[in-house]
Amino acid sequence: MSGTKPLVEISMGIEAFASEWLHCDRISSYLARMVSHNRTDSLLYANLLSSALNELLETAFAHHGPEGNFSCRVSRLGDSDVIELDLPCDDMTLAFYRDAAQRLTQPDLAGIYHSALFSPGKPDPHLGLLEVAVDYRARIAIVAEKGNRLKLAAELTLEGAAA
Amino acid sequence: MSIDRSYQASFNENNQEFVIAGKLRPQSEDEMRPLAEALTNSLAQVRGTFYLNVKRLARLNNVAFRAITNLVSQVCDTRPELRIEVVTSSVMGWSTRKFLPLAERLPNVTVNEYDNDFYPGQSFLEEGGFIPILRNQTKLTWRHERHLLPRHGLKPGMTVADICCGIGDFAVLVQKELKPSHILALDHSRTSLDYARKVAAEFGIADIEYVYGDASEMVIEDNQFDFVTCRHSLQIFDRPELILKELYRICKPGGRVYITNEKNSHCLGEPRGESIQWTYTEVAKLFADFKMDVELGPKSRRYLADAGFEDILVDSFMVTNGDGDPQDFANMIQAWENVFAGEMARDRGDSPEFIARFRQGFQDQIYAALHPKGYAGWPIWAASARKPT
């Protein structure tokens, strides 16, 4: 996104990332703490950012292409922080994220999210993205890129929410 | 696949409270089975209201949330008479928002965000009106503490936490004069923290992190700090041992925790000593009525020992009208009178006669402080101890 200042980026092979569930928690906790130190309330901000980032990472953990590089970058845009996940994708992954992008434009997103949150049976695979869009009021952009790549960007303005 | 067991869960039958703390980010519902079983067993034991306490649950993913809420929903269906109160914390930021939709769906579930109501009496001390008192106090005590802190183990380059930092002026003085590498300053008053951040910004101080939090249940990880300070605060909590447990937890093994507290009935002055002594004996009783022990100072050794610390060092010092400008001392007493004989005495329902006599003792101490041959004093106990390695 234009005007953003990159703060920190973690990059690894998608196989390595998806080999261990704890990576989602570890990466989200570490990156959130790193970028929150100069926010008004660093602990509160880190807690919120980690929660949102973890949902995005858990989504990417479950839905990604078979091989290639995976990166997670956090950039600053004034009071906002932008999380960008760059991951390999195949046709199935692309369809999953296209469906998600389409759902995120629906009216009454909060209603859709709460229905998904309390639905019986298997969890809605878009639940994490819906939560980040509703509870954290993130602007989410999903863009397919050349070479079977996909970029998921979430712009979060947590500074006001954390004060 | 590794399972992260970084959560703690416990049930207290007496309070009918199930507490979940730490981090819950499982990959599958199977990983939730031990917690779900414990929660089911606890629910089976209660009648009336069941408290699900997630105040110190720092992280929760949707897998865990759905497992917990599915279980709560099932119990609500089968036991409509049971009330379930989810206790969240404003400190976490996300938890109230996450659990509120559950209360909207299930009529017997409520969500209660933990806040100042849990500390009766704290509002007197957390409102903006107390800021002048705190400013004066720190100015006066710093003359003594700047020499005491190195004796108690504070060295340049250390990582420091100042818990119950108030308006943050102590942290600023420590940062400027004693040069720790970093200070985290935590308080439960947003008014005080706003003031602290403003002051730090005005002085261009960037090495202090001011954070909102509850000293008795902090979100800070274990074993983080070389030196942990908590000044004039154990004495104004009804359960100081809970805060000491947290100070111990966040202190590194081998690090030290430093506390200061008063014994208000020992405030003194001459001339007019008798009136002054009567008033301060009454100050101690007034605070006791609001569940605060402003006589805690000399009990520091016992509290530190009971919390598991070793190498306990206790000092005491007397802040007096001879510490710089006597008017500063007099201003502090005036600020005390305004709050103690004002809002607090009124809230307790004290009679006008009592309040008049109560105020007189403060005025007599001010008289002693400003008298050319007078002496007025406020005793403080400074104690520190080491966390065993």
pLDDT surpassing 60 at residue A162 = no
* ipTM of predicted assembly, 2 dp: 0.94
Residue ranges of the domains in chain A? 5-162
Show the tokens assigned to A152: 């998921």
Count how many Cα atoms sit within 13 Å of the Cα of residue A134 in the half-sphere of its side chain: 23
Span A5-162: which CATH code?
3.30.565.10
The per-residue pLDDT for B3 is 43
At B1 the pLDDT is 38
pLDDT of amino acid B301: 97
Per-residue confidence (pLDDT) for residue B131, from 0 to 100: 72
User: CA A103 to CA A122: how far, in whole Å?
Assistant: 18
pLDDT of res. A142: 96
Element spanning B9, H or E: strand B7-12
pLDDT score of B56:
87
Residues of B with CB under 8 A from a CB of A: 1-2, 4, 23, 25, 27, 58-63, 65-66, 69-70, 73, 91-94, 97-98, 101-102, 105, 193, 197, 206, 209-213, 219-220
Q: Which residues contact B27 (CB under 8 A, 6 or more apart)?
A: A21, B1, B63
Q: Which residues of B fall within a CB distance of 8 Å from A48?
A: 93-94
* The pair of three-digit structure tokens given for residue B32, joined into one six-digit string: 């939730």
C-alpha gyration radius of chain A = 15
| Tokens linked to A95 | 């369809």
- At B43 the pLDDT is 94
Q: CB pairs below 8 Å between A and B: how many?
A: 78
CB B276 within 8 A of CB B371: no
Nearest to B62 among A42, A50, A127 (CB): A127
**What pLDDT does residue B119 have?**
47
Are the C-beta atoms of residues B111 and B102 closer than 8 Å to each other? yes
Residue B27: the pLDDT is 95
Residues B380, B260: contact at Cβ < 8 Å?
yes
* Of B254, B96, B237, B95, nearest in space to B163 by CA: B237
Q: What is the pLDDT of residue B203?
A: 77
Per-residue pLDDT of chain B (389 residues; tens, 9 = 90+): 334 458 899 999 888 999 999 999 999 999 999 999 999 999 999 999 999 999 889 999 999 999 999 999 999 999 999 999 999 988 888 999 999 999 999 999 999 987 644 444 455 555 556 676 777 788 899 999 999 999 999 999 999 999 999 889 999 999 999 999 999 999 988 888 888 888 888 778 888 999 999 898 888 889 999 999 999 999 998 899 999 999 999 999 999 999 999 999 999 999 999 999 999 999 999 999 999 999 999 999 999 999 999 999 999 999 999 998 899 899 889 989 998 999 899 999 999 999 999 999 999 999 999 999 999 999 999 999 999 99
Residue B322 CA, chain-centre distance (Å), reads 31
What is the rounded distance in angstroms from the CA atom of residue B329 to the CA atom of residue B321?
6
Amino acid identity of residue A138, one-letter, is: A
- Domains present along chain B, CATH in parentheses: 7-114 (3.30.750.24), 122-386 (3.40.50.150)
Question: A35 with A49: CB under 8 angstroms?
Answer: yes
Q: Per-residue pLDDT tens for A84-143?
A: 999 999 999 999 999 999 999 999 999 999 999 999 889 999 999 999 999 999 999 999
What is the helix (H) or strand (E) element at residue B162, kind and residue range? strand B159-163
- For A22, the closest of B4, B58, B97 (CB atoms) is B4
DSSP string, A28-96: HHHHHHHHHTTSTTHHHHHHHHHHHHHHHHHHHHHS--SSSEEEEEEEEETTEEEEEEEEE--HHHHHH
**Going by C-beta distance under 8 Å and a sequence separation of 6 or more, which residues neighbour residue B105?**
A114, A118, B73
Taking an 8 Å cut-off on Cβ atoms, the answer to whether B69 and A43 are in contact is no
Closest CA to A152 of A66, A78, A93: A93
Residues of chain A contacting B1 with CB distance shorter than 8 Å: 20-21
**Nearest neighbour of B219 by CB, restricted to A37, A38, A47:** A47
Q: Nearest CA to CA, how far is A143 from chain B (Å)?
A: 25
Q: Are B65 and B36 in contact (CB under 8 A)?
A: no
Give residue A1's pLDDT band: very low, low, confident or very high (50, 70, 90).
low
